Amino acid sequence: MTDKEKFIKEMKARTKKFAVDVIKFCDTLRKCKASDVISYQLIKSSSSTAANYRAMCVARSKKEFYSKTCIVVEEADESEFWLEVIKEADLSSAKDEGDRLLQEATEISKIMTKTRSSIY
C-alpha cells in the first residue's frame, strides 16, 4: 500500500469516527430547544464531512475532486462552529469529549484546507 493509499484509508476512518463520535456526543447535550436544533445541525455537518470525503476520494475529475474538497472544508468548519456554540452555551456535561471533538474538527479542517490549496 502506498503512502497516499494509506492516508486515504486513515482519513476515511477518521472522518467516519468523527461523525459517529459526534452522534454519541449529542446524547450528552442538555435537553432543550437549542440543543435539539444544534445537535441536528452538528450531526448533519459532521456526517457530511465524512460522506463528502469519501465522495472526494472517488472523484472523476480534478474539478470534481476540488469541489468535494471544498465541501469537506466547509462542513468541517461548520462542525467546529456548532461545537464552539455548545461549549460557550454550556450545553453538554461531557466537556472533555466536546473539547476533543472540537480539536478533531479543527484538525480535519486544516488537513483538508491544505489539500484544497495544493490542488491548483
| Domains in the chain: boundaries | 3-117
pTM (two decimals): 0.94
What is the residue-level pLDDT of the chain in tens, covering all 120 positions? 899 999 999 999 999 999 999 999 999 999 999 999 999 999 999 999 999 999 999 999 999 999 999 999 999 999 999 999 999 999 999 999 999 999 999 999 999 999 999 886
Nearest to 43 by CA among 10, 17, 20, 66: 20
In SS3 terms, 54-103 reads as: HHHHCCCCHHHHHHHHHHHHHHHHHHHHHHHHHHHCCCECCHHHHHHHHH
Q: Which CATH architecture has domain 3-117?
A: Up-down Bundle (1.20)
